[in-house]
């Protein structure tokens, strides 16, 4: 009997290619005890129930490496995100819409910059002076915002809304913001 078990273990090892792993012993099975036969009762024709044996599971033999490849494929497929074509199309439309809104806003700001003269309103004491509130920032650079159109003027091109605003900075930064700094203004004497 031991020889038969050893032979069976060798066959299992050969089938499953368990190289480098210890051979496993098959589980012990107890031989079924014989049950006393019970007399069958005659069944009525309309209550006949045919008893069938449960279907036997199909045994698939494969190597451990094949099993590992199958499990890896199943796991990688389960980790892939579910894609909804309608949702992707909607996201693409929203991105395009947001880009168009950004372009429209940029054009509106440039139009507002071009239509403003960035000077104080005529008729006031400050006529002819700049309407840009200039300030030297913590990085030592002088930046300003026009009080009429809201355009930000900066010496950095990346901070300006367009190249045109950046070019205007050089001229507008020299304009006086108060009559005391404007040589053309004549003060009334009392």
Reported as a single tens digit per residue, the pLDDT across 74-101 is 999 888 888 899 999 999 999 999 999 9
Q: Answer whether 95's CB lies under 8 Å from 47's CB.
A: no
Task: Give pLDDT, residue 108.
Answer: 95
* Per-residue pLDDT tens over the stretch 102-160: 999 999 999 999 999 888 877 676 777 888 999 999 999 999 999 999 999 999 999 99
Distance (Å, whole) CA 27 – CA 59: 18
Taking every pair of C-alpha atoms in the chain, what is the biggest distance, in angstroms?
138
pLDDT tens digits for range 24-51: 666 677 666 666 666 566 555 555 556 6
The arithmetic mean of pLDDT across residues 60-71, rounded, is 87
| C-alpha span between 142 and 133 (Å, rounded) | 10
Pick from 125, 130, 123, 127: nearest CA to 188: 125
Determine the straight-line distance between the first and last CA of the chain, rounded to whole angstroms. Answer: 132
pLDDT confidence of residue 190: 44
What is the model's pTM? Answer: 0.49
State residue 144's pLDDT score.
94
**Dist CA 28 CA 146 (whole Å):** 92
pLDDT for the residue numbered 35: 64
5 pLDDT above the threshold of 60: yes
d(CA 22, CA 37): 44
Determine how β-strand 152-153 pairs with β-strand 142-146: antiparallel
- Residues 131 and 118 sit within 8 Å (Cβ to Cβ): yes
* Cβ neighbour number for residue 97 with a 10 Å cutoff: 10
């Amino acid at each position: 009997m031991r020889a038969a078990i050893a032979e069976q273990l060798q066959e299992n090892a050969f089938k499953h290619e368990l190289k480098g792993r210890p051979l496993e012993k098959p589980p012990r099975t107890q031989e079924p005890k014989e049950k006393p036969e019970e007399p069958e009762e005659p069944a009525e024709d309309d209550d006949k129930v045919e008893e069938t044996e449960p279907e036997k599971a199909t045994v698939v033999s494969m190597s451990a490496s094949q099993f590992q490849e199958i499990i890896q494929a199943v796991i990688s497929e389960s980790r892939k995100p579910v894609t909804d074509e309608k949702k992707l199309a909607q996201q693409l439309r929203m991105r395009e819409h947001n880009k168009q809104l950004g372009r429209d806003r940029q054009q509106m700001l440039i139009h507002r910059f071009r239509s403003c003269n960035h000077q104080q309103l005529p008729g006031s004491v400050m006529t002819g002076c700049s309407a840009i509130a200039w300030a030297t920032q913590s990085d030592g650079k002088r930046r300003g915002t026009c009080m009429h159109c809201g355009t930000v003027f900066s010496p950095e091109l990346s901070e300006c809304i367009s190249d045109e605003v950046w070019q205007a900075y050089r001229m507008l930064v020299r304009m006086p913001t108060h009559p005391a700094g404007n040589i053309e203004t004549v003060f009334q004497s009392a």
